[in-house]
Amino acid sequence: MVLRSFIILILFVYNSAFGQIKTESFEFIHNGKKLRGLLDLPIGQKPTSVILIVQGYGKSNIVEGNWYYDLRSNFVKLGLACVIWDKPGCGKSEGEFDVNQTVQSSADEVLSAIKEIESKNIAGATNIGLWGISRAGWICPLVIQEYPKIAYWISVSGTDDKENFGYLLETNLRIEGRSETEIQLLVSEWQRGNDIFRKGGAFAEYQKATQNLRKDSFWIFLNNSSETEESYLSKQKQFISEHHKFDRKTGLMIYVPNFRKTLMKIQCPVLAIFGEKDANINWRETIALYKETIGKRTKAKLTIKTYPDCNHNLKSCKTGGMKETIENSNKYQPPCDGYFDTMSEWFKKIVL
């Protein structure tokens, strides 16, 4: 892999309640493509650490949209340098956006950024940590496995060892007012349809197995359009060619084989934060998994914090459902009370 990058110029100097922040352009090469992002630095002091923000699912607009500014500012206030970038094909990053980018590919991307930070000897580079949300719960442990010098990890709304869609579907159907009988029927149809799809079953068989599910308004909301045989077969061919692994008992996809063993190897301090109204990931399962793995490692110093009225993005909410979250996505929503304080106090006590 050829790896080049440049810290080009100072873009912004912010004055806020967090203090002055100097923001520079951060660029690095991954798989032959230049990815562009931001490096935030405290003014008037040398950073004690560099923290990388590892994003969750979906497209990004980090540079133009100045995404995660409140989070980044909080880290800079603590004396940290903060690095974040746009995914391939997003913002001004080169390449094509792949909605199905594997977690291993995303982890390799993070490792490329770390190599760049070290090669440029950015202040704080001897003490690199990770903050990651949602699917980053799979990405960050892979990074730590390949780069055991990671000093700490903040896992926000982290994933357990299997795919989360079954939980997402069931929880949101309940929020949408379906009866328990209806939920059981619709989830079982999804499971059956998923099984047919991944094993190469015919489109007609899939249609028959999911006839009630496909008529449900929440399912229609998720999928936007009706599936055609052509699109079904195209997606199926691609999916099967990727040789995914599945849990025999539940039929759920496994994104990181031997994930429990991967977590057991983590020896850095870990702060795990969850919203108790998270309708995307099964936060209770993740907490149990972390306790059974990371929690048994003395050096890991696992700390867990939950917030009663917070959603997947750690924003205050009424239901935590996907519809509510999407409807509020274009509005500024302050983080849940105490969320930033929890991270700050943890840093001061455990890391700094």
Sheet holding 80-85, edge to edge: 10-16, 19-30, 33-42, 80-85, 49-54, 128-133, 153-156, 270-275, 302-307
Tens of pLDDT, residue by residue over 186-201, are 999 999 999 999 999 9
User: In this model, does residue 1 exceed pLDDT 80?
Assistant: no
Q: What is the DSSP string of 236-272?
A: HHHHHHT--EE-TTT--EESSTTHHHHHHT--S-EEE
This prediction has a pTM of: 0.90
Q: Sorting pLDDT into bands at 50, 70 and 90, what band is 19?
A: low
Q: Report which DSSP code applies to 295.
A: G
Q: Sorting pLDDT into bands at 50, 70 and 90, what band is 251?
A: confident
Which residues are registered as beta bridge partners of 83?
39, 52
User: What is the reported pLDDT for 295?
Assistant: 93
SS3 state at 218: helix
Round to whole Å and give the CA distance between 7 and 83. Answer: 12
User: In this model, does residue 99 exceed pLDDT 90?
Assistant: no
Instruction: Kindly state the tokens that stand for 311.
Output: 């959603």
User: In this model, does residue 98 exceed pLDDT 80?
Assistant: yes
Round to whole Å and give the CA distance between 60 and 69. Answer: 14
pLDDT mean across residues, the chain: 91
Round to whole Å and give the CA distance between 259 and 239. Answer: 21
Percent pLDDT > 90 in the chain is 81
SS3 state at 65: helix
Q: What is the DSSP string of 87-146?
A: PTTSTT--S---TT--HHHHHHHHHHHHHHHHHTT-TTTTSEEEEEETTHHHHHHHHHHH
Name the residue among 121, 118, 142, 131 with its Cα closest to residue 84.
131
